[in-house]
């Protein structure tokens, strides 16, 4: 569907209703083109099994749906998690997937089960509304479940923003819960009739902890506190975003700019003001150029700050100093500060499932059913089990071991920090593999690192099956971005704390050659790094041109593999 037609579909949708209700009742296994666009706002994407397209004997398209729950700050109760787990068996493909925005996705839901799936989630007080589409998506927050009141400020801000930024239409409840889409159309003072030009991402960070990749967001709020822990307010960031298109210089990843400081009670008004700028000035003629980051790039930070000031009832203040960000992934056992513990469990690529040698889904269900922890999801696609009694620690560890679930101490540095998007076979945008390829790539890289004595080094690697950047590969120390079937562009020299973008290192590298291609760089890192220097900082200091020469000399690569 053309970009102009997407805008027309939104304008004529009667508050995101369209003909969705009627289409859910017909006998088709798929939605109309307009329906495919509108259902995104309700938290679902129509997909097909792209594996079925391959091979000599291609069958008919097998349509199914991905459904995404919206969980501000990644928080949910034990009962809500168990409802998600139940749905995966009742209507999905027997797996759950933690997203990079702290939500949960189901795959393989057929059209006839869409309403039952969403109703079941709704009965557990979980919504999917606004988890996708041209609106503010799930509001992220540092999920650390400590008794520190400063963390509660961060998490409560995310929940408050999420409620305030939800579209006002009643279409979601009418279609999915009541089963009839009434004709009334509500006035939405924030989104209007055509909503936003593109998706919009918001996160709230704890000072010094960039576990939400705050600089990659359309809007980021960094909470600031005084030495006594009193909340001073927020530094406001704007204009981050990861997506780009190969061979299109008008598209690019961008880190957010620090715009201003605001008082604690100004967060909602400020974020709404920024959303309205995107609504009014975003490029509705070209969806590849429609994110907020292009407004800041094209018009400048000073213009943006002045335009935002016009839309606010108070004066923006100059940004305040904030602590340097450090690596925080919240994995392992931690004291909460109230006598209880929380446990961060790694989930490779966010996929909660059972397979040979690992019964992750069964094990998590067993622990959650028995001990009823509070659940928090992490932007690195891992899971936290909180409010645990210290006396239960041995029993929990035994239950996890029984299901072959490893704790973080059993992970290498690269596997601990690895991220991948789903890509094939479900994503319609995927050029090549990511989630299914990264584990094998990490196996090979781990072999190299072990031989070099670097296995415990925390090197951040992220892989995506296309350049849209859903796993935020451009903010990683090593980014692997799908370029063509089984070939990737390698990006190097981002930093582990997400405050510097990486750069193109080599193009069109086969998936089977990634580890061998990186070996000369990793060897040079081992032999020439400074004490305590991270891999990304090392690459920046040495320079990518020098590292290319070293790699090409070691592997006899042709010039065509250059950036």
**Catalytic (active site) residue 365:** no
Among candidate residues 36, 40, 68, 284, the one labeled active-site is 68
Among candidate residues 17, 201, 361, 462, the one labeled active-site is 201
Among candidate residues 10, 40, 111, 199, the one labeled active-site is 199
CA distance 497 to 210: 6
CA distance 298 to 284: 15
CA distance 266 to 261: 10
Among candidate residues 361, 421, 472, 561, the one labeled active-site is 421
**Catalytic (active site) residue 201:** yes
- Tell me 407's DSSP state: P
Q: Is 50 exposed, middle or buried (0-12, 13-18, 19+ CB in 10 A)?
A: middle
**Catalytic (active site) residue 132:** no
**Catalytic (active site) residue 539:** no
Among candidate residues 132, 211, 466, 539, the one labeled active-site is 466
Angle formed by the axes of helices 267-281 and 301-310, nearest 10°? 120
Cα 552 from chain centre? 34
- In 3D space, the residue among 141, 101, 75, 159 whose CA is nearest the CA of residue 380 turns out to be 101
Among candidate residues 137, 279, 291, 561, the one labeled active-site is 137
Cα-Cα-Cα-Cα dihedral sign, residues 431, 471, 380, 129: negative
8 three-state secondary structure: helix
Helix or strand run (H / E) with residue 120: helix 114-123
Among candidate residues 132, 142, 211, 470, the one labeled active-site is 470
SS3 string of 152-197?
A: HHHHHHHHHHHHHCCCCCCHHHHHHHHCCCCCCCCCCCCCCCCCCC
Cβ atoms < 10 Å from Cβ of 453: 9
Among candidate residues 132, 142, 211, 427, the one labeled active-site is 427
Task: Confirm if 195 and 216 have CB atoms less than 8 A apart.
Answer: no
Cβ atoms < 10 Å from Cβ of 59: 9
Task: Confirm if 84 and 92 have CB atoms less than 8 A apart.
Answer: no
Q: Going by C-beta distance under 8 Å and a sequence separation of 6 or more, which residues neighbour residue 242? A: 216, 253, 468, 469, 470, 472, 473, 474, 475
Beta strands in 254-331 (DSSP E): 257-262
| Catalytic site positions | 68, 137, 199, 201, 421, 427, 466, 470
């Amino acid at each position: 569907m053309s970009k102009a037609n997407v805008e027309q579909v939104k304008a004529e949708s009667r508050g995101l209703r369209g003909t969705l209700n009627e289409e859910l009742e017909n006998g088709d296994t798929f939605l109309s083109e307009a329906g495919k666009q509108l259902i995104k706002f309700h938290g679902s994407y129509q997909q097909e099994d792209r594996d079925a397209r391959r091979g000599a004997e291609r069958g008919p398209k097998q349509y199914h749906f991905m459904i995404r729950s919206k969980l501000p700050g990644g928080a949910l109760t034990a009962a809500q998690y168990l409802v998600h787990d139940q749905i995966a068996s009742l209507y999905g493909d027997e797996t759950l997937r933690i997203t990079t925005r702290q939500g949960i996705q189901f795959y393989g839901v057929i059209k006839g089960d869409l309403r039952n799936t969403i109703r079941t989630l709704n009965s557990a007080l979980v919504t999917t509304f606004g988890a996708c589409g041209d609106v503010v998506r799930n509001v992220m927050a540092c999920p650390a479940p400590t008794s520190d009141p400063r963390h509660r400020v961060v998490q409560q801000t995310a929940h408050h923003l999420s409620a305030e930024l939800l579209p006002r239409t009643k279409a979601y409840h009418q279609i999915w819960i009541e089963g009839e889409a009434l004709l009334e159309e509500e006035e939405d003072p924030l989104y209007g009739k055509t909503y936003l030009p593109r998706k919009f991402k918001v996160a709230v960070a704890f000072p010094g902890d960039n576990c939400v990749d705050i600089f990659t967001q359309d809007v980021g709020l960094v909470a600031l506190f005084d030495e006594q822990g009193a909340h001073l307010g927020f530094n406001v960031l704007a204009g981050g975003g990861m997506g780009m298109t190969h061979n299109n210089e008008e598209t690019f990843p961008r880190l957010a700019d620090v715009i201003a400081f605001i008082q604690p009670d100004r967060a909602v008004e400020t974020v709404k003001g920024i959303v309205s700028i995107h609504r009014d000035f975003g490029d509705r003629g070209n969806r590849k150029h429609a994110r907020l980051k292009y407004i800041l790039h094209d018009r400048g930070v000073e213009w943006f700050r002045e335009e935002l000031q016009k839309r606010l009832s108070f004066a923006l203040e100059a940004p305040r100093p904030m602590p340097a960000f450090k690596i925080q992934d919240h994995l392992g056992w931690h004291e909460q500060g109230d006598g209880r513990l929380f446990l961060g469990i790694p989930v490779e690529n966010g996929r909660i499932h059972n397979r040979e040698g690992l019964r992750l889904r069964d094990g998590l269900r067993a622990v959650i059913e028995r001990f009823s922890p509070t659940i928090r999801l992490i932007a690195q696609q891992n899971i936290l089990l909180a409010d645990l009694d210290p006396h239960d620690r041995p029993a929990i560890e035994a239950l996890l071991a029984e299901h072959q679930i490893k704790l973080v101490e059993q992970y290498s540095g690269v596997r601990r920090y690895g991220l991948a998007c789903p890509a094939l076979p479900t994503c319609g945008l995927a050029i090549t593999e990511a989630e299914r390829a990264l584990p094998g790539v990490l196996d090979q890289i781990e072999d190299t690192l072990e031989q070099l004595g670097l296995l415990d080094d925390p090197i951040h690697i992220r892989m995506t099956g296309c350049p849209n950047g859903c796993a935020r590969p451009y903010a990683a120390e090593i980014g692997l971005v799908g370029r063509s079937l089984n070939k990737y562009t390698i990006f190097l020299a981002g930093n582990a704390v997400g405050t510097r973008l990486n750069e193109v290192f080599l193009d069109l590298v086969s998936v089977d050659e990634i580890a061998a291609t990186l070996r000369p760089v990793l060897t040079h890192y081992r032999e020439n790094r400074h004490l305590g220097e991270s891999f990304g900082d090392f690459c920046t200091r040495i320079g990518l041109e020098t590292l290319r020469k070293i790699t090409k000399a070691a592997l006899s690569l042709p010039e065509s593999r250059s950036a």
